[in-house]
Structure 1
Amino acid sequence: MTKRNRSRKGAIAIALITLITATTLTACSGGDKNKNAEASATPASDYSQSLSLVNAVSDNTAALFKDIDAGFIQDWKNRTGQSITIQQAAGISSAQEAAIIGGQLKADIATLGVGIDIDAIQAKGLVGEGWQQRYDYNSSPFSTAVAFVVRPGNPKNIATWEDTVKPDVAIVTSNPATDSDARWYYAAPWAYSLDKQPDDQNAAKAFVTSFHNQVAVLAGNDAEAEKAFLADGKGDVWVTTESRALSLANGSAKGKIDVVVPDVTLAVEPIVSVIDSVADANGTREAANAYADFLFTETAQTLAAQHYFRPRFESVTEQFADRFAATTLLTVDDNLTGWEDLQAALFAESGLFGQLAKK
């Protein structure tokens, strides 16, 4: 796997593993010093009392986080003797954001689809400034890739983003207007075009428009897109995440689909943050910080790989080398100009997606 213009090196991950092994109570990333300084003002928990956390996650990561929750519960018990329970709240990323801001979802920690969802929570004063620098990789503990699910044998020979815009190809994907996690699926052809023709936004607009023109089913969310492609037999290619595609291909849809990862595609990077105001109010700051730390341990990274998410640690990546296709992964932060600009260009009220033909 190649990460184009990626500034972070595998050596960072290896150094982290060494730190984790040597320090049992703070398995964390390079940005953790600021976080621990902030957390030090909070009194330590009374470990004789049980504790409960609410963990808000996106639908596409829910199965993974069930295993991570169980791993952290045991790790925390081993390290502190304290019993802890974790209530998972899964949903569309933008819906999670709205529920946290509105107070309906009292999440101590959240791992959402894109950074701007947590930026919105921060703008309401619920998360401290600089939250994205608390951990390496802009606080994204693992990643996946935008990939293609095709019919067995790949009869339309769909291998690259260029193949998706051929006149005889029908695309199934999710609607970024109703499912915020689906923003990745339109951001990917945008990033691909700009990688091919740097700084040419007109070419990128034209390519995304061509992609949209081939969309036969624009589903409300990934679950509906999955049903349209698998159960209803619609489309030639389903644009989704590599993790979802591989999970199906090795599970309930084994033998019914093939998975194609383009040679250049966009990395999908879920983002984690403690919801500072909630954790402070609940007296769970120490445990919530520790949970975020835990995501950057070899244990959690291994669980991510087992669920077909690409780990950050090179040592774990090597163990699962045959699981992930070689590809050049573009990223929103390194190859584009960040989610704020991308949101404005594609998904804001005046953005490109709103100007495309209704599906």
Structure 2
Amino acid sequence: MASRAVWMGGALTTVLLMSGCNPTEANKEQSSGDNTAAAESKDVSLLNVSYDVSRDFYKEYNPLFTSTYQAQHPDSKVDIKQSHGGASKQALSVANGLQADVVTLNQESDMNMLVEKGLVKPDWRQAFPNNAVPYRTTMVLLVRNGNPKKIKDWNDLARPDVEVVMPNPKTSGTARYAFLGAYGAGLHQFKESVDSPTQTNDFIKKILSNVVTYDNGARAATTSFTQRGLGDVLITTENEAHLVATQHAKGKVEIVYPSYSVNIDNPVAIVSAVTDKKGSTAAATAYLKALWDKPAQELMAKMYLRPSDKEVLAAHASTLKDIQTFEPVAVFGEWDSIMNKFFVDGALFDKLAVKTEK
């Protein structure tokens, strides 16, 4: 195992580069030209590169998978390593050489970038059920206990007396969904189209003017809100909000569900350019495929993620509330268009994220 420093989006991030199978051992095992089969039968280490707030789920999922895998493959052992951070920073790390076997992300555009780099196969959506999306989530609001600012919906975030905490949309997929959730709510409230969003742009400008910190990732934003005491409201994912409210800051915060929010798909894929060389494709495939098994789907719901299994989702309706959501691509167009319109340098986010005098 070696470390490498990678410069991404203005932040110096140290990432783990996990080596594949030992070349000496691989040469010893090679026989009759069947190198791949020999490699697949040996012990394997998988690196799952994921976004910030998925860490709690995969911390529980990994031992669940390894116990099942080793029972089915008694002559092999699998070791799962994790790397977490802002989603786009993580995807860029893989593009820059981080030897991920699988990527479990929260935005299709990051996956498309890895396809363009030749690391993920173009048909990654067809490799697993539900277009390779094992679970979904949405954006909610986390406020201080007792909700002292009486925050009930997105429009309260535009008030001059409210301070907002969110990650940075330049590095975090969660932050992009936070922005799109608020923007879509504005279009919905003002009955505007994305082509002429006059009132919506003014609304979002007021919200962004209230942001007191843009952290690199969603978990860092959670830390700023819960431990550093910044802000009156944190814009975060439903699963992160529940984990904070029930575990990390129990009794100190409470969740506010907006009346209208954004749907967040969480796609997964094999980094075939890495696994084909390592001989870890079969294990990586099994690792992702098991996400659709009942135990994993139940674990997702337990961790406040919305599983793709409708029966499991329905059984957890008391905690995973049925709220009105919209699909980003249905409102804003394909992800390439979303990125160009809102998040590239000089795009709408940069134009609206200007502090105004209160």
The TM-score range, normalised by the shorter chain, is: 0.7 to 0.9
Could you tell me how far apart the structure 2 residues matched to 1:285 and 1:136 are?
18
User: How is 1:153-172 mapped onto 2 (pairs within 5 angstroms)?
Assistant: 153-172=146-165
Deviations 1:285-308 (A, max 9, x none): 112112221111211111111111
Q: What's the TM-score, normalizing by structure 2?
A: 0.82
Equivalent position of 2:311 in the other structure: 315
Cα gap change, 1:130 to 1:109, in 2 (>3 Å):
same
- Indicate yes or no: 2:122 matched with 1:129: yes
Q: Which amino acid aligns with 1:63?
A: D
Equivalent position of 2:80 in the other structure: 86
Equivalent position of 2:296 in the other structure: 300
Could you tell me how far apart the structure 2 residues matched to 1:45 and 1:319 are?
43
Equivalent position of 1:271 in the other structure: 267
Q: Which of these residues, 35, 53, 59, is aligned with residue 60 of structure 1? A: 53
Q: Which of these residues, 108, 113, 129, is aligned with residue 115 of structure 1? A: 108
The alpha carbon displacement at 1:335 in A equals 4.0
Segments of structure 2 that go 5 or more residues without pairing to the other structure are 1-34
Could you tell me how far apart the structure 1 residues matched to 2:150 and 2:195 are?
28
Q: Residues 47 and 80 of structure 1 are in contact (CA less than 8 Å); yes or no, is this contact kept in structure 2?
A: no
Q: Which amino acid aligns with 2:91?
A: E
Q: Residues 194 and 332 of structure 2 are in contact (CA less than 8 Å); yes or no, is this contact kept in structure 1?
A: no
Cα gap change, 1:267 to 1:200, in 2 (>3 Å):
closer
Bigger Cα displacement from structure 2, 202-211 vs 170-179? 202-211
Q: Which of these residues, 226, 235, 243, is aligned with residue 239 of structure 1? A: 235
Deviations 1:80-128 (A, max 9, x none): 333211121222222221221121x111111023111111111011111
Could you tell me how far apart the structure 1 residues matched to 2:123 and 2:141 are?
35
Q: Residues 89 and 171 of structure 2 are in contact (CA less than 8 Å); yes or no, is this contact kept in structure 1?
A: no
Deviations 1:166-214 (A, max 9, x none): 2322211122124343211111112223344352443243332232122
Could you tell me how far apart the structure 2 residues matched to 1:76 and 1:250 are?
31
Could you tell me how far apart the structure 2 residues matched to 1:60 and 1:113 are?
10
Cα gap change, 1:316 to 1:45, in 2 (>3 Å):
farther
Could you tell me how far apart the structure 2 residues matched to 1:110 and 1:142 are?
14
Q: Residues 167 and 221 of structure 2 are in contact (CA less than 8 Å); yes or no, is this contact kept in structure 1?
A: yes
The alpha carbon displacement at 1:153 in A equals 1.8
Cα gap change, 1:167 to 1:136, in 2 (>3 Å):
farther
User: How is 1:1-359 mapped onto 2 (pairs within 5 angstroms)?
Assistant: 49-81=42-74, 82-103=76-97, 105-196=98-189, 197=191, 199-203=193-197, 204-358=200-354
Tell me the SS of whatever aligns to 1:259.
Answer: strand
Count, aligned residues:
318
Q: Which amino acid aligns with 2:239?
A: S
Deviations 1:224-270 (A, max 9, x none): 42233223333221111111111011013111111111121112222
Q: Which amino acid aligns with 1:87?
A: K
Tell me the SS of whatever aligns to 2:248.
Answer: coil
Bigger Cα displacement from structure 2, 89-98 vs 123-132? 89-98
Could you tell me how far apart the structure 2 residues matched to 1:191 and 1:135 are?
29
Could you tell me how far apart the structure 2 residues matched to 1:232 and 1:260 are?
21
Q: Which amino acid aligns with 1:99?
A: S
Could you tell me how far apart the structure 2 residues matched to 1:198 and 1:312 are?
31
Bigger Cα displacement from structure 2, 230-239 vs 106-115? 230-239
Supply the RMSD in Å over aligned alpha carbons.
2.3
Identical positions, percent: 29
The alpha carbon displacement at 1:136 in A equals 4.1
Cα gap change, 1:126 to 1:46, in 2 (>3 Å):
closer
Segments of structure 1 that go 5 or more residues without pairing to the other structure are 1-41
Tell me the SS of whatever aligns to 1:239.
Answer: strand
Q: Residues 45 and 286 of structure 1 are in contact (CA less than 8 Å); yes or no, is this contact kept in structure 2?
A: no
Q: Which amino acid aligns with 1:317?
A: L
Cα gap change, 1:234 to 1:92, in 2 (>3 Å):
closer
Tell me the SS of whatever aligns to 1:147.
Answer: strand
Q: Residues 194 and 201 of structure 1 are in contact (CA less than 8 Å); yes or no, is this contact kept in structure 2?
A: no
Q: Which amino acid aligns with 1:324?
A: L
The alpha carbon displacement at 1:146 in A equals 0.7
Could you tell me how far apart the structure 1 residues matched to 2:96 and 2:213 are?
32
Bigger Cα displacement from structure 2, 64-73 vs 224-233? 224-233
Instruction: From the CA coordinates, give the structure whose radius of gyration is larger.
Output: 2
Q: Residues 143 and 270 of structure 1 are in contact (CA less than 8 Å); yes or no, is this contact kept in structure 2?
A: yes
Could you tell me how far apart the structure 2 residues matched to 1:127 and 1:231 are?
38
Q: What's the TM-score, normalizing by structure 1?
A: 0.81
